[in-house]
Amino acid sequence: MTNNLENKTIIVTGANSGIGKAAAIQLAKMGATVIMACRSLERGEKALEEVKNISKSEKVVLMQIDMSSQTSIRNFANTFKSKYKNLDVLIHNAANFDHTLKTPVLTGDKIEMVFATNHVGIVLLTHLLLALMQHSAPSRIITVASKGLMLYPHLDIEFDNLNGERKFNLQHAYYHAKLAQVMYTYDLAEQLKETGVTVNCVRVTNVAIPDDRLSHLPAWLRKIYNLKRKMAITPERQAETYVYLAADPGLEKVTGGFWDENNKQVNSNKNSYNQATWKKLREVTEKLAGIK
Ligand SMILES: NC(=O)c1ccc[n+]([C@@H]2O[C@H](COP(=O)([O-])OP(=O)(O)OC[C@H]3O[C@@H](n4cnc5c(N)ncnc54)[C@H](OP(=O)(O)O)[C@@H]3O)[C@@H](O)[C@H]2O)c1
């Protein structure tokens, strides 16, 4: 792998915590200009200092984005495009797994919060930055799903339940949106073939969640997370796959893959390969995202 990303500009969403922050550090160490796209400027500032200190790089920048708000995503994209003339890698790391969501909560755009943040917002952000990425080609888009999808072998896109109108629980909404991301990856990779822009998805495994992210949870849930942590890998270890997909010269033309934490391609759920569903999902998502 090249360890020189001097001329590369990379956006990492949700870079103030966990895997996103670890990836920002590793990419900044390799010389990239790293844009930490974070929801909270306060948490972002704290992480920015840490990323700069550990990577010993000054080429790290904090920008605000709320992936659940289309206005915020559009503002972010406009600001980014006014400041940067290239975008080499876009890492869609941020995701909502908010245990306080017991019933569907609609965003200002009238989309269920988990689907809005973990799927629709990602499609919109890519769309707004795609021309710049094509101009910067070869360039790379990295999406993030979950190994936990293996527990849902029959899950499919529920076009009659996108806002949780038929049934809702956080776990289900989360994996549904992650399945949508896998399909989106395959579909976009097909569409962008021959453009020099690749699209690959990380199958994130069980990764330790930092203590400070769990303090608001009830004691029984913290206990489960503590048990899970005994078998988890570190955010730094999982971030190595992000860096591999972002930087390995051998992957310049590799697209449409689903990658585990050992940087190996793996299969996803059977339903994720259904091209008719990709197309329907694309059309529905573009409508929800206000993409003409
Ligand atoms: N940890 C695991 O075991 C595991 C397993 C499978 C998949 N994953 C996936 O791996 C990725 C990283 O997770 P992690 O373990 O590093 O979790 P994490 O430490 O909780 O980080 C999640 C990041 O997403 C950000 N985020 C959430 N909602 C956002 C929004 N509306 N707008 C912008 N940013 C938002 C968070 O920002 P705030 O600080 O503002 O909340 C935080 O920076 C996620 O896509 C997750 O689904 C993780």
pLDDT tens by residue, the chain, 292 residues: 567 899 999 999 999 999 999 999 999 999 999 999 999 999 999 999 999 999 999 999 999 999 999 999 999 999 999 999 999 999 999 999 998 999 999 999 999 999 999 999 999 999 999 999 999 999 999 999 999 999 999 999 999 999 999 999 999 999 999 999 999 999 999 999 999 999 999 999 999 998 888 888 889 989 998 899 999 999 999 999 999 999 999 999 999 999 999 999 999 999 999 999 999 999 999 999 999 8
Regarding the beta carbon of 44 and ligand 1, being less than 6 Å apart is answered: no
Regarding the beta carbon of 65 and ligand 1, being less than 6 Å apart is answered: yes
Structure-token pair, residue 20: 């996103």
Per 3-state DSSP, the chain is made up of helix, strand and coil in percentages (nearest 5) of: 50, 15, 40
Q: How far apart are CA 29 and CA 6, in angstroms?
A: 10
Residues with catalytic function: 174
Q: In the CATH hierarchy, which fold is given to the domain comprising 9-287?
A: Rossmann fold (3.40.50)
pLDDT of residue 132: 98
Regarding the beta carbon of 95 and ligand 1, being less than 6 Å apart is answered: yes
Q: How far apart are CA 102 and CA 64, in angstroms?
A: 27
Regarding the beta carbon of 72 and ligand 1, being less than 6 Å apart is answered: no
Own/partner contacts of 255-259, CB < 8 Å, gap of 24 or more, are: 255/189, 255/192, 255/193, 255/198, 255/199, 255/200, 256/185, 256/186, 256/189, 256/190, 256/199, 256/200, 257/200, 257/201, 258/145, 258/182, 258/185, 258/200, 258/201, 258/203, 259/200, 259/201, 259/202, 259/203
Structure-token pair, residue 153: 């072998």
Instruction: Calculate how far, in angstroms, residue 113's C-alpha sits from the geometric centre of ligand 1.
Output: 14
| CA-proximal residue: ligand 1, atom 47 (nearest) | 95
Regarding the beta carbon of 94 and ligand 1, being less than 6 Å apart is answered: yes
Instruction: Calculate how far, in angstroms, residue 275's C-alpha sits from the geometric centre of ligand 1.
Output: 28
Q: For CA atoms 235, 128, 28, 141, give the dihedral sign.
A: positive
Ligand 1: atom nearest CA of 69 is: 31
Q: Are the beta carbons of 145 and 174 closer than 8 angstroms?
A: no
Crossing angle of helices 170-191/275-288, nearest 10°? 100
Instruction: Calculate how far, in angstroms, residue 94's C-alpha sits from the geometric centre of ligand 1.
Output: 5
Q: Are the beta carbons of 45 and 75 closer than 8 angstroms?
A: no
Instruction: Calculate how far, in angstroms, residue 95's C-alpha sits from the geometric centre of ligand 1.
Output: 4
| CA-proximal residue: ligand 1, atom 38 (nearest) | 39
| CA-proximal residue: ligand 1, atom 28 (nearest) | 96
Crossing angle of helices 18-29/41-55, nearest 10°? 40
Instruction: Calculate how far, in angstroms, residue 131's C-alpha sits from the geometric centre of ligand 1.
Output: 26
